[in-house]
Structure 1
Amino acid sequence: MRTQVAIVGAGPAGLILAHLLHASGIEAVVIERQTRAYVEGRVRAGVLEQGTVDCLTKLGLDERLRREGLRHSGTHLSSDGEDFRIDLEAASGGSCVTVYGQQEVTHDLFEAAEARGLTILFEADEVRLHDIETDRPAVTCRTPAGEHRLDCDFVVGCDGFHGVCRAAIPADILRHFERVYPFGWLGILTERPPVAEELVYASHERGFALASMRSLMRSRYYIQCDMDQRLEDWPDERIWDELALRLGPSLGERLQRGPSFEKSIAPLRSYVAEPMRFGRLFLAGDAAHIVPPTGAKGLNLAVSDVSMLGEALAEYYAERSVAGIDAYSTRALARVWKAERFSWWFTSLTHRFPQTGAFERRMQVAELDYLRTSPRAQAAFAENYVGLPLI
């Protein structure tokens, strides 16, 4: 089989890139290790930056998003139960965020891919990259239909943190930057209305909490917990009690408790791989970087990566110019590191670390108070939260 671009990974990054290339008349084949049902069923982020919404709109993939997504012009922060709101739209100069689950985005992308005739090879095992340092790379894999060899011009690794693509870059070329956080997020989904109309990020002396939502009738809640905790240690009633305490008396009284239908503990890490290009291989999304979910940047960074790469590949095929693809890694990493900084800062501000003593907690409270009272601090927060422009 021959194509122009081979995309490894059918998560949002890989699928959006496939749609971007299709819109530019560029052939692409997507290779995915799992089934479509498995990929669609993964519970992930739900806050879309303005740029992500704009990208989906440009691709004609925003019909259900516009109908069902929840547009948020602000967000709330809480410091030991004292709540304040940041007007994102006013502070950023007009941008907002939209709450629309990654599962819904993925479903829309798959539906449109099927309607547009995009090629996706599911259940691809034994994926191997070949000759990526030459101008004739290839990808081989095995699916239930048999063995495949995909000859191409470029390979794009959108296969996540544990995928094969990043590992194909020689160890003496690739640099790793990582911070593993000493806690995780215990998250639950429940069929109950959200406690507030907008997201609430709570910094409490007992640890972080987040009140989020997936719809007007489905809520997503998180609390910071130690990584040695087990789900069995956290029955629903204990989670509700802890949420009520960390969110504070006003919001705690408004919590509508109910049974959870999904419960998990996720680790937190900051990670960046450099460079994001080697030969004819490009990395995008979680294959190149991970952010703690505090800043809601994971999915959005993936979209900015493939938006830049889609532009560069379109330029290459239209003009035979390599300027865009040569600049991709540097350009993408400039935005990645800014998002990493914001996510690290926001995590450090709102979570309790093992070294957080009385002094460190006072510093967190002071910075939250500065954010509450300073329009300039709120403008900086809003600019990062709604998403920095592509560079």
Structure 2
Amino acid sequence: MRTHVGIIGAGPAGLMLAHLLHRKGIEAVVIECRSRQEIEKTIRAGVLEQMTVDLLNETGAGERMMKMGMFHKGIEIRFNGKRHRIDMHRLTGGKNITVYPQHEVLKDLIAARVKAGGEMFFNVSDVRLSDLDSSEPKIHYQNENGEREELICDYIAGCDGFHGPSRQSIPQKIRKEYQKTYPYGWLGILAQAPPSAPELVYAHHEDGFALLSTRTPDIQRLYLQVNPSDSMNDWPDERIWEKLRLRLSADDGWKLIEGPIIQKNIVSMRSFICDPMQYGRLFLAGDAAHIVPPTGAKGLNLAMADVQLLAKALHDYYAAGETERLGRYTAACLRRVWKAERFSWYMTSMLHRHHDSTPFDYQIQLAELDHVTTSKAAAQSLAENYVGLPLELEEPSLSII
């Protein structure tokens, strides 16, 4: 089987890339190790930057999002019992964030792919890549019937996540990886309850960090900072609610609305970047190339930025034989990725309780929280990063400073 672009992975990066390429008349085939049902039912977080919302709408995949999504003009930061609102809409000239779960985005993109008649193969296994530095790179895999398949491509997009085979196919001698593991994890729960607040609440407390988010008018998503070595046996429901009440508490009488916990899990937190994001005719996008801690809400949005750049570069090649954008794909992506990593690190460091910090360190942390909630310039910087920096299609030629 032959195609222009072979896409490994049917997550946000892979499906959006296939959608963008179809709109430009470029043929693509998507392969995925999971089933369609598993992809559409795995509940994941979903805070969308303005750029991602605009992209879904501009490409005809945003109709359900505009009906079901929750549009927030700000976030709230709590510490020392006080509530502070960052008005992102005002500070960024009218930009918002949209709370719309990732699995709903995937449903929309799969539906768009089906409507377009695009090829997708689920439940594949034993995926291998070969001839990446040739004009005919290949993807070898086993289909859901157990038969071996070979997909001959012009280009391959590795959108297969951190554990997929694409990144490992870049020779180790040219692959530089940057990593940071944080000394805490997040315990996340889904609870059947109405919203306790109109917008996301980020809470710093002496006992640890907490985040109040939402999924639907009836399902709420909440997180607690925990030890990454904890197990779910360490966290019965009663203890979870006790810690959430403590860490989210405010001295103005605000109350947390509780309900039955229908899902809970613990995830570790890390930052990761692979440089380069390309080798021969293989291009990485999304979690295959970079991981961010969830505090900055950047993971899905970085994937969407990557594939916009890649789709434009591939269009240059198929429309005019131009490869200049393809050649600088890594540099264009990593400029944005490193800024997102910086912001995610900043939010994580500012909001979490560092139990090995000195009293001096802790007072500096509180001073930073006070600064960002009282200085317009500091709040504006946070807001601009949170709603999403502009997608730079060209290398900046002049500094604005």
Residue in structure 2 matched with residue 101 of structure 1 by the alignment = 101
Report if aligned partners of 1:243, 1:252 keep a CA contact under 8 Å in 2.
Answer: no
> Structure 1 residue 354: deviation in Å?
3.6
Q: Is 1:300 the counterpart of 2:301 in the alignment?
A: yes
SS in 1 for 2:179: strand
Report if aligned partners of 1:205, 1:361 keep a CA contact under 8 Å in 2.
Answer: no
Residue in structure 1 matched with residue 389 of structure 2 by the alignment = 388
> Structure 1 residue 250: deviation in Å?
4.9
Residue in structure 2 matched with residue 69 of structure 1 by the alignment = 69
Q: Is 1:268 the counterpart of 2:257 in the alignment?
A: no
CA distance in 2 between partners of 1:135 and 1:80 (Å): 60
Q: Is 1:118 the counterpart of 2:118 in the alignment?
A: yes
> Structure 1 residue 65: deviation in Å?
0.3
Residue in structure 2 matched with residue 324 of structure 1 by the alignment = 325
Deviations 1:109-153 (A, max 9, x none): 112211111111111111110100111101010112322110010
Report if aligned partners of 1:245, 1:252 keep a CA contact under 8 Å in 2.
Answer: no
Residue in structure 2 matched with residue 370 of structure 1 by the alignment = 371
Residue in structure 2 matched with residue 136 of structure 1 by the alignment = 136
> Could you list the runs of 4 or more consecutive aligned residues of structure 1 that deviate by over 3 angstroms after TM superposition?
249-253
SS in 1 for 2:135: coil
Report if aligned partners of 1:80, 1:246 keep a CA contact under 8 Å in 2.
Answer: no
Residue in structure 2 matched with residue 28 of structure 1 by the alignment = 28
Identity %: 50
Report if aligned partners of 1:45, 1:299 keep a CA contact under 8 Å in 2.
Answer: no
SS in 1 for 2:2: coil
Change (3 A) 1:119 1:251: farther
SS in 2 for 1:22: helix
Residue in structure 1 matched with residue 260 of structure 2 by the alignment = 259
Report if aligned partners of 1:45, 1:298 keep a CA contact under 8 Å in 2.
Answer: no
For structure 1, list consecutive stretches of 5 or more residues without a partner in the other structure: none
- Code of the aligned partner of 2:185: G
Residue in structure 2 matched with residue 6 of structure 1 by the alignment = 6
- Code of the aligned partner of 2:130: H
CA distance in 2 between partners of 1:51 and 1:69 (Å): 15
> Structure 1 residue 353: deviation in Å?
2.2
Residue in structure 2 matched with residue 16 of structure 1 by the alignment = 16
Deviations 1:303-357 (A, max 9, x none): 0000110111111111110011111110000000000000001100001124223
TM-score normalised to structure 1 length: 0.98
Moved more, 255-264 or 265-274: 255-264
Change (3 A) 1:213 1:270: same
Report if aligned partners of 2:134, 2:281 keep a CA contact under 8 Å in 1.
Answer: yes
Moved more, 250-259 or 98-107: 250-259
Report if aligned partners of 1:17, 1:307 keep a CA contact under 8 Å in 2.
Answer: yes
CA distance in 2 between partners of 1:184 and 1:214 (Å): 21
CA distance in 2 between partners of 1:390 and 1:290 (Å): 19
Residue in structure 2 matched with residue 223 of structure 1 by the alignment = 224
> Structure 1 residue 58: deviation in Å?
1.4
Report if aligned partners of 2:249, 2:255 keep a CA contact under 8 Å in 1.
Answer: no
Change (3 A) 1:252 1:10: farther
- Code of the aligned partner of 1:147: R
Q: How does 1:243-258 map to 2 (within 5 A)?
A: 243-250=244-251, 253-258=254-259
Moved more, 349-358 or 261-270: 349-358
- Code of the aligned partner of 1:96: N
Residue in structure 2 matched with residue 210 of structure 1 by the alignment = 211
Change (3 A) 1:138 1:32: same
TM-score normalised to structure 2 length: 0.96
